[in-house]
Amino acid sequence: MELIPSKYLGYCFGVNRAITTLFKTIDEQRDRKCYTYGPIIHNKRITDQLTQRGVAVIDDISLAEPGSLVFIRTHGVSGSVLQALKERGVEYMDLTCPYVQKIHNVAKSADRLLMVGDIRHPEVSGILGDAKGDYEAVTTLDELKSVVRKQPNQSYTMVSQTTFNMELWLEMKAYVEAFSTVDGQLVDTDFVPVSPVTVCDTICHSTSDRQKEVEHMAKNCDFVIVIGDKHSSNTKKLYEIAKNQCPACCVEDATELPQYLSEYKKIGLTTGASTPGSTIEEVINTMMNENNNVNLMEEDIDFAAALEASLQVARVGQRITGTVGVVGTNEVQVELGGKHTGFIPASEFSEEELAALKAGDEVEAFVMKVSDVEGTVLLSKKKLDSMKGFEKLEAAKDNNEILTGTVNEVVKGGLVVFVNSVRVFVPASLASLRKDTDLETMKGQEVRLRIIELENAGRRKRIIGSIKSVLKEEKDAAQAKIWESIEVGKKYDGVVKSLASFGAFVDIGGVDGLVHVTDLAWTKIKHPSEVVKEGDCIEVEVKAFDPETRKISLTFKKANEDPWTILPQKYEVGDVIPVTVLKLMPYGAFVSVIPGIDGLVHISQIANQRVEKVGDVLKVGDQVDAKIIEINYDTKKISLSIKATLPEEDVAEEELTEAPAEVVAEAPAEDGTVEE
């Protein structure tokens, strides 16, 4: 008898990751109460081992004690289960298979989900629990046809259970991809109107590989043994495929091996993805002990090594995890656990990553080239980072997620932004809210953007992003917040956006307001640039606003800097103060009192003798002493007298009989001018 073991023995990646993590965690937290939500995998031996260690299987969240730890099964659960655990005060460790998690992400974003799989399976029920909208579940091509023909105006996103039969999935996929449009109506190959369907390939690669290999094995063997739990979906699929080609049996352990195996010359042996290595070893050893004429395809095979190698089969295009052996100047050696040694060019690590890397570290990479002759595998970390980044961008696009990236280049027509190690092109029209933005100023900046277009055509990937959509959304939200709470007298920290001859426009958090030139300073200014410049951060106060026209008037003047508040602290009526002549008028001269306040020296208060023309005595720029003879805080006017500071002289009789003009001074108007 010749025994031919599969190259895919034992756990798949997802199961191996879950089991390794679980047992390591419970060893580290021996004193903590632990549970698994449902069987962690479909394998009774593993469940029994966990029970012996005090890890109970629960399907009811209320059975988990607050403060305990719950391991989420590899089949995954809906988000509602995770939320319920949080609300109960229970910590959980999500061991959901990454391939299953991907389907959950699709379900959360699809308006209508078309699930291909067994609705009774925990993986499927968990995915449907996360469905964003309506869903349908089918297991046959006829059921699929019935659904898509039922409501031709409804569109679906079609996914499959990770362990679904590959042959049947391909048949369903081919049916959908053959849809065509006739007279504006989408129809199938029977010309029956159907719903549009977007197909997502979600069968696990490991499942697919095992199914393909067992079919090939069954065609070339007289008998096939499938080892695995009979409740395991992927184990049952392998058995169904094998028995369609040749006699086969499915066993959970060595005790179930049939007695008639010696009748067959060539026996193939494969396992489900949840079958432990110890079970496989027992089956092989039993067959060898009970049948002395059993020969393995490779003599003196080291079963443990073969099992380990089955988990780390290096194939071009595969993602693989290994252990760092030697960190060299030009390359990093990676032990893959099989007959090959991997190498990653050191240039694919940043200086910080390379400095921190040490022997024993786990590293994940992409298989670029395999040399069986040299026993080496060329790996790429950069390629894997790019692939992971692309997958994240795909998910981000589906979820309308906002991403963060760095502007790396300014190119013709736009920007190149690196997001998750992937180049994203942002057209100039989508780079900013303002058309006149200088793109060069954005180089090196960290920006927030959305992926709006994504195509993956082999090596060529087309990814378009929009910074503008994020900025607009943020601006709209900020504006709504401002208009909900704005009120006269409220203060804001703003940024000067632009200047005009009549004032400065200030952004107060998504909304622009105008600070008129007269509200920039208490003193008279000719242009806003005398006080502020573009980009300045200033505190402004709301002076007035109109919700209908969406206009806001702001002021930059501070109340405690009001010269009419400062004046009484410095001067009072009767004080003689130095002044500078600012302007000559027919009826008198305006002079400076303090910055922001001018006063009037009436023509009758300029000298002891009669003055016919102000310019005969004073000129602009003269510095003289004047006495404050009146301050009117209501009208904000000051009257001064130069005459009162001069020595008394005899006044002509005719002058005494003349009634003196009213001695008043007028403050500058809002625009800085003085009323006559």
| Residue 235: its H or E element | helix 233-243
d(C-alpha 264, C-alpha 247), whole Å: 10
> Two tokens at 61?
């969240």
Nearest to 213 by CA among 370, 8, 16: 8
Sign of the C-alpha dihedral, residues 208, 214, 219, 220? positive
> Two tokens at 232?
């395991």
d(C-alpha 89, C-alpha 239), whole Å: 42
Sign of the C-alpha dihedral, residues 535, 536, 540, 544? negative
CA gyration radius for the chain?
42
Nearest to 437 by CA among 451, 427, 446: 427
Helix crossing, 79-87 with 122-129: angle to 10°? 80
Beta bridge partners of 113: 135, 157
**Residue 294: C-alpha distances to residues 223, 298, 546 (Å):** 14, 12, 93
At residue 119, φ and ψ (nearest 5 deg) are -65, -20
Please identify which of the residues 65, 87, 123, 653 carries the catalytic annotation: 123
Contacts 24+ apart (CB under 8 A), 57-63: 61/37, 61/85, 61/88, 61/90, 62/88, 63/35
Residue 636: count other Cβ atoms within 10 Å of its Cβ. 15
d(C-alpha 117, C-alpha 385), whole Å: 31
At residue 11, φ and ψ (nearest 5 deg) are -60, 145
d(C-alpha 667, C-alpha 676), whole Å: 10
Q: Could you tell me what percentage of the chain is helix, strand and coil, using 3-state DSSP and rounding each to the nearest 5? A: 35, 30, 35
Determine whether 666 is an active site residue.
Answer: no
> Two tokens at 74?
């590899």
Asked if residue 221 lies in contact with residue 176, where contact means CB atoms within 8 angstroms, the answer is: no
Asked if residue 424 lies in contact with residue 460, where contact means CB atoms within 8 angstroms, the answer is: no
CA atoms within 13 A on the CB side of 23: 10
**How many residues are listed for the chain in this entry?**
676
Annotated active-site positions, please? 123
